[in-house]
Chain A
């Protein structure tokens, strides 16, 4: 019972951990907690510096990063990759995302750098890129790449290569905002402003705080950007439920078989109890209570192992998977719902055979006639 409980919650925790990690990657490397976008008919957010100042005046805001986002084509030694290219203020960006710490080669761009670019590993190729064929085939730090944005070509020196494990970000590139402004001919504008908030406020409340400043632009929480992630999350949730259901079914069958065999072995004992006049209800109840007791002990043991051993261990020693390190967190609601279902399986699994056998005749039970 302990193992079954662990099997159900472990798998579920792994999938839960993957979902959390996906979301974390998006928040840490792309959206921050909130994203401000131009109102519907506008292409840009105007006067971003004063807007940023206003936003950053809120105590709940750690930082904001105004980005110019464009699709462009990066070429290197005859290979071309179409990708999203961001123009950022490096200092601001570091307050919002962890991009700076995701450098695997070279350095992060700085405010003063001009003509330099950092590439995601999927763009550069190598460094464990998953879509090698769609990359530039192994650009290295110090190489020069040709970047074409809105029909304008410009050469950039590769200053660094980063890997976030978040595919959207790893398939992008970043240049200094001043370079991007120069190429597309805008000033003090942005396509989006990513905002990082303190952990003591939830995104919904933070959004309301921003709106209360009189911001006319669209303010969205990162949840609204989940898009594909939401699909993955839904798929994982569905998988989680399917596997839980299968786990429960297996649990039910195991419990049923164990108790059935146990009861069949006690067939004669049931017969004797019936013979001396013990009520059928009492006999059935005794087996159901026994199964409930086993289930309770097993589930409690499983819960304690998960809560006090496995979860804390994976928090200090996260499991490395393709999307990064994950910890196995046991949510109380999840634990409770699985425990209740297992408990029910034990009750039903014990009641059916106990009831069926106790209905049999005394001769059959005692002497097998």
Chain B
């Protein structure tokens, strides 16, 4: 029973501390945070501004290196990885959705989506097929060749979600994905997350500060002053 439970854990943070220096002032953004996230779980990290929620997401998503502590993803201790190995791990196993979409402006929607697939060594045809399937899944079948600048914020965020999910990552990290969207577009994004979470058992870790987002998630992790509440 214990083994089953352990194999269900996809992310484990062990005593994660992250300290920043602002001039001569030491800012402890995270203090000895430990938690486990199960496979297929949709988790929201919440907290007030400055509580350390984005910093925590960056540690879990291997975008930053904790000052101390360990992040284990799918039984892999990431603290032993080199930067190059982490890059490769992110490319193949993790997906990211950023607050400001972070699409490459020169590339069309489909090109933005298949870029990471191409980097995995897949051929162009495979990439295009997978990318268009994912864009259709997020409801952008009529925008495949459109540049980001010609799309609304909600549409751009959906391209960003398609990009993050096209390579079927083990975990999707989303940092305030609805912060720049109106409530209708926000709902569409959250419903998409919910859909992929339910239908594909996609593990999702999302940072948000909107209370109404909680109805879409399975669990809420609250942070205050860098510690779990």
Contacts and interface: CB of A to CB of B under 8 A. Distances in A.
Contact of A277 (B20, B91, B102, B105): B91
B63 A277 contact: no
B117 to A, nearest CB: 11
Given A269-B104, A362-B63, A363-B63, A275 B96 contact: yes
A191 B94 CA distance: 92
Nearest to A274: B87
A280 B90 CA distance: 13
A268 interface: yes
A362 B64 contact: yes
Interface of B is mostly: helix
A131 interface: no
Contacts of B95: 276
B63 A366 contact: yes
A280 B83 CA distance: 10
Nearest to A290: B106
A277 B58 contact: no
A272 interface: yes
A185 B115 CA distance: 94
A278 B63 contact: no
Given A362-B63, A362-B64, A272 B119 contact: no
A282 interface: yes
A356 interface: no
A279 B119 CA distance: 8
B102 A268 contact: yes
Given A362-B64, A363-B63, A369-B20, A278 B116 contact: yes
Nearest to B64: A363
Interface in B46-90: 58, 63-64, 87-90
A272 B116 contact: no
B194 to A, nearest CB: 23
A278 B115 contact: yes
A231 B115 CA distance: 60
Contacts of A366: 63, 98, 102
Interface residues of B, number: 22
Contacts of B115: 276, 278
A282 B63 contact: no
Nearest to B103: A272
B163 interface: yes
A280 B82 CA distance: 14
Given A269-B104, A362-B64, A369-B20, A277 B88 contact: yes
Contact of A275 (B63, B105, B119): B63
Interface in A260-292: 268-269, 272-280, 282
B92 interface: yes
B163 A277 contact: no
B104 A277 contact: no
A169 B110 CA distance: 74
Interface string B158-169: 000001100000
B92 A276 contact: no
Contacts of B92: 277
A272 B105 CA distance: 12
Contacts of B104: 269, 272-273
Given A269-B104, A275-B90, A277-B90, A363 B116 contact: no
B50 to A, nearest CB: 14
Contact of B116 (A277, A361, A369): A277
Contacts of A275: 63, 90, 96
A274 B86 CA distance: 10
B119 A269 contact: no
Contacts of B119: 277-279, 282
Given A268-B102, A269-B102, A276 B163 contact: yes
Contacts of B164: 276
Nearest to B120: A277
A277 B96 CA distance: 10
Given A269-B102, A282-B119, A369-B20, A276 B91 contact: yes
Contacts of B90: 275-277
The 6 closest A-B pairs by CB, nearest first: A277-B91, A272-B102, A277-B90, A362-B63, A276-B116, A277-B87
19 contacts: A268-B102, A269-B102, A272-B96, A275-B96, A276-B90, A276-B91, A276-B95, A276-B96, A276-B164, A277-B87, A277-B92, A278-B87, A278-B91, A278-B119, A280-B87, A362-B64, A366-B63, A366-B98, A366-B102
Interface of A: 268-269, 272-280, 282, 361-363, 366, 369
Given A276-B95, A366-B63, 6 more contacts: A276-B164, A277-B90, A277-B91, A277-B116, A363-B63, A363-B64
